[in-house]
Amino acid sequence: MAVRYPERLARDLVLDEVFDLALYERVLIFAPDRMQDMLRELTAIERKHIAFWKAFFKIDEEELGVWRKIKLSLFVGVCRLFGESGIHLILEAIEVYGIRKYLNVWEVYKDEELGSAVRSILEDEFEHEDTLVSTAIEKKINPETIRNIFLGFNDGLVEILGAVSGFFAAFAATSSVLMASMSVAVAGAISMAAGVFVSSGSEAEVRRTEQEKSKFLGKSSTGSYAVYPGFSAIVVGTSYFIGAMVPVLPVLLGSQSLVASIVASSVIIIFVSFILAFLSGMDVKRRVLINLGIIAFAVIVTYAIGIGARAIWGVEI
């Protein structure tokens, strides 16, 4: 019977498997000894999956395009730079992305004659490969830390870009824009850190109470990552300030207009959106468009407020 899965998506699925195999093989060369067996198993599983999907979709292509080669080099670079933690992060992200991708395939074929064949390979994917990766990365990567890093960075970039926009509209001198922006960035970083410290402390207390209750009742408490309020506060505050410096840096380097700050922020937010989309399994284009839309909205609103302040109160600094 005719295959209903779109040809381009079928090709992408096969090439994604080829990409994963190439990544495992290259990382295997320099991975720590304790990860070697896992990567060898992943390599063997990936070869089997490539053969299955190539036969299933009648696609013989294995040549990675320019974009996938660039992405492969980037991922290998992350693994080399951050060592075991980087490898764990990449493997976990690939697992999330793979689950989402394969569930989409299942939705197409679950009621077809080929459904049993698809189910067989997906069960192998979910029960073998994903279990292998999940076991290897268990308790290695704290998702709370990853969330805090991007939460702080994204908030700092968007909020301070909005502030810079409003200051450019309201103030006549670039020095005033710079001083005001730096003041807001520092205050924002401290505020974010303090807020996270308080909220994380409350969360830690709630978790501790639940664990003590479970212990009293003789029940095993559900596994979860420990909450360290001070560490979370430092991570969020630092990442917020780093994100805030993206729109401020062009002004610090002598830019006389808002354009450079918008361009710099847009480039960085696209890069961050790609990382977030990869880690969460979300569609990259959707994530990029959402974040660019947020930036555009922030700039428009704050610039309008700055113009209004200048017109109403005659701000001339």
Query: What per-residue confidence (pLDDT) applies to 259?
Result: 92
Tell whether the torsion through CA atoms of 236, 238, 240 and 243 is positive or negative. Answer: negative
Q: Which residues of the chain have pLDDT under 50?
A: 1-3, 139
Distance CA 309, CA 246 (A): 25
Query: What per-residue confidence (pLDDT) applies to 3?
Result: 46
Tell me the three state secondary structure of residue 6.
coil
Query: What per-residue confidence (pLDDT) applies to 164?
Result: 93
Query: What per-residue confidence (pLDDT) applies to 139?
Result: 47
Residue among 267, 268, 250, 271 nearest 259 (CA)? 250
CATH of segment(s) 7-137 = 1.20.1260
Distance CA 170, CA 173 (A): 9
Residue extents of the structural domains in the chain: 7-137, 143-313
**Burial classification of residue 310, based on how many CB atoms lie within 10 Å of its CB (0-12 exposed, 13-18 middle, 19 or more buried):** middle
Taking the chain, what is the end-to-end CA distance rounded to the nearest angstrom?
Answer: 73
Query: Does the pTM exceed 0.75?
Result: no
